[in-house]
Amino acid sequence: MAILFDSTSRLFTLETNHSMYQMKADRYGVLLHTWFGMKGSVFDYSYLISYADRGFSGNPYEAEDERTYSLDVLPQEYPTYGSGDYRSSALKVRYPDGTTACELRYAGHKTLEGKYALPGLPAIYATEDTKADTLVITLEDTRHCFYVHLYYGVLEELDMITRSVRIENHSDAEIYLENVQSTCIDYLHGEFDLHTFYGRHVKERNYQRMTLRHGIQSVGSTRGTSSHQYNPFLILSGEDTTEENGSCYGFSFLYSGDFLGTAEYDQYNQTRILLGIHPDNFCYCVKPGESFYAPEVAMAYSHNGLGELSRIYHKAYRNHLCRGKWTATRRPVLLNSWEGIYFDFNGEKLVKMAKDAAELGVELFVMDDGWFGKRELDVSGLGDWIVNEKKLGCTLGELSDQIHDLGMQFGIWFEPEGINEDSDLYRAHPDWALQVPGKSPCRSRQQLLLDFSREDVRDYIFSHICQVLDSAKIEYLKWDLNRSLSDLYSALLPADRQGEVAHRFVLGLYDMLEKLTQRYPDMLIEGCSGGGGRFDAGMLYYTPQIWCSDDTDAIERLSIQYGTSFGYPVSTMGSHVSKCPNEQTGRNTPINTRATVAMSGTFGYELDVNEMSEEDKSIVRSQIDEFKKYYDLIQYGDYYRLTNPDTAESYHGWEFAAADGSEALLCIVALQIHPNGPGCWMKVKGLKPDSIYTVDGKEYPGDVLMNGGLLLPAATEEYESFRIHIVEKMGI
């Protein structure tokens, strides 16, 4: 059993293959956090807690004159606002009398076989061959009749522990939740670095590492989405932790809306980590007899560095978060029309593009924005999901048939959450848009957003999307969102519940995506929000891949995909070869390098193949064949970051290694060329030390390649790339 309970000490111990998590209900019923880290002897780690009389750190009433007992100092599993703990809290509740002081005490627990699920929310799931257990600890408010149920999912083989919270109102009055964090971890001691991922549109998930100092450091989003600016994935590590050595802790929020990740280094050099919904746009009413479920956080620990931590998340998310047919089925190599022709197309032009693409080996043709309503530019038509047959020159079914006659699959772009004021839908239902009465709305790209917290709005959009999808043979859907939320107001909610709009919007999004995946189980859905504005674990539950960034420049993508790899597998990263000079940067990059980078993702093309030279077309044919050859290794192999592209001087490298060590693919991009420059060696990872491997016809022992490395070829042009296949010599 992965969940152990000592009834005498009321000590809970959760164990995975390599990690351990522990807490205990103390003599006053306070749930103390005692350990999260390396797996070891099952021992009561509360012995590490230091009790002392701390000035200006008060004591709970039941402690009487025990001045050494203060919640302001103790490590707690779920600290509350107004309890005498002045650090960042996990829960703030406003009661009917206007007060917000909350005290929680242990009231019981239960263990369940299998992994819990969350209604209407994404969550890690266990399969038949994966052992999982659930612990539910119930805390009771000392003054009002409501309960906080702390959920823990223990997935031993995945080395992962998940957390969620259910708040249950048993009183006879409404309560208002003003802050609900999904997880809290208190560390009694240690010098830590915080790793976060920041950015902007077309430059997402830049990696940054900072030493914790006294005070609060945080990242978050109040944009209604997880955002381009910060990602809901945090790492806490020792100051000396590297890719291969040292302790580190991962915290991944399975949620696609506003979030807040907080690290507080307190007055006694203790560290508190919190992760959950951002409280700024959140105030949720829980009526008598109702419950509120907080989104899930997936936690993992590694004592072998950041690389191992990432691989824990990669395996879990590939196999226990992404769902459906496309988790194990090879995804088709696609051509997206957007950067090739934008809005300038008709059916004949699209078929011509598809014909040339089919001859190169492309398997899926995607028609992007511009096929519906009055949509010649991005200022009109959103919300009118009616095929513009006049523009296409045919029905959508006829266009799809022509694409399929070429031996290709067909895909289509939608932006279901958006609406233009210049649209028939807005003219008929202006109240369906998010906007504050009496206030001019904030526009972005000349568009507003539909109120997805409303079921009637979702039902209307869903029915129109289904009419389109049912009118033709469509195997792929790109779900886009091209602005942040603002003017949060829903016409169907009363004044005292407008603080629920942002969260209900996300729940509405999930509801619609769930219905879509149930109705079209074989359809491949790719998430997108202006590229990587909603690249989070919550979306992966519904869309097994997400467009990584609107920046398709291969050299820019090195940093973007590097940062993304810390928390997400390459199988989730939408990545395409685009034309040069690149439209975002003007940079010229060799087509092989563009493919090397795009192959480290879902792989496809985003250009007008009709404009390609015969030489480039021949190269593309070879690239597609090569990607198919290495598909399993790239998509399911162990991923290793060999260098940081932002600090590497000459070469940036990364690697895919088979889980059994039988082969590896080393990917290298030359960042700079120096005349008469020094040689460069790259150490390979994930091989068998005692096996012999062949590289370009030469043989090397595995330990030699891992310890000494490979001498890389000298680059002869700027941004040249190399893909080096390393294969175990059999029969040794």
pLDDT-derived band at 122 (thresholds 50, 70, 90) equals very high
Which CATH number applies to 651-728: 3.30.43.10, 2.40.10.10, 2.60.40.1180, 3.40.50.2300? 2.60.40.1180
Tell me how far CA of residue 167 lies from CA of 171, 176, 502, in angstroms.
Answer: 12, 11, 19
Tokens standing for residue 137: 């600890």
480 noted as active-site residue: yes
In tens, the pLDDT along 505-537 reads 999 999 999 999 999 999 999 999 999 999 999
Fold entry, domain 3-320:
Beta-galactosidase; Chain A, domain 5 (2.70.98)
Whether residue 390 has pLDDT greater than 90: yes
In tens, the pLDDT along 408-434 reads 999 999 999 999 999 999 999 999 999
Catalytic residue from among 536, 550, 551, 608: 550
Mean pLDDT for the stretch of residues 146-169: 98
Q: What is the mean pLDDT of the chain?
A: 97
Ordered by start, the domain boundaries in the chain are 3-320, 325-636, 651-728
Residue 80 per-residue DSSP state: B
pLDDT-derived band at 208 (thresholds 50, 70, 90) equals very high
Catalytic residue from among 133, 159, 369, 480: 480
Rounded Cα–Cα distance for residues 244 and 302 (Å) = 10
Buried b (16+ CB within 10 A) or exposed e, 55-83: eebebbeebeeeeebbbbbbbbbbbbbeb
Question: Using an 8 Å Cβ cutoff, are 259 and 297 in contact?
Answer: no
Local structure of 726: helix, strand or coil: strand
pLDDT of residue 576: 98
In tens, the pLDDT along 280-290 reads 999 999 999 99
pLDDT of residue 142: 86
Whether residue 731 has pLDDT greater than 60: no
Tokens standing for residue 74: 């103790």
Helix, strand, coil fractions of the chain, as percent rounded to 5: 25, 30, 45
In tens, the pLDDT along 37-59 reads 999 999 999 999 999 999 999 99
Whether residue 538 has pLDDT greater than 70: yes
Backbone angles phi, psi at 555, to 5 degrees: -75, -40
Looking at domain 325-636, its CATH superfamily turns out to be Aldolase class I (3.20.20.70)
Local structure of 570: helix, strand or coil: helix
List the helix and strand counts (H, then E) for the chain: 13, 39
pLDDT-derived band at 677 (thresholds 50, 70, 90) equals confident
550 noted as active-site residue: yes
Q: Which residues pair with 651 in a beta bridge?
A: 670
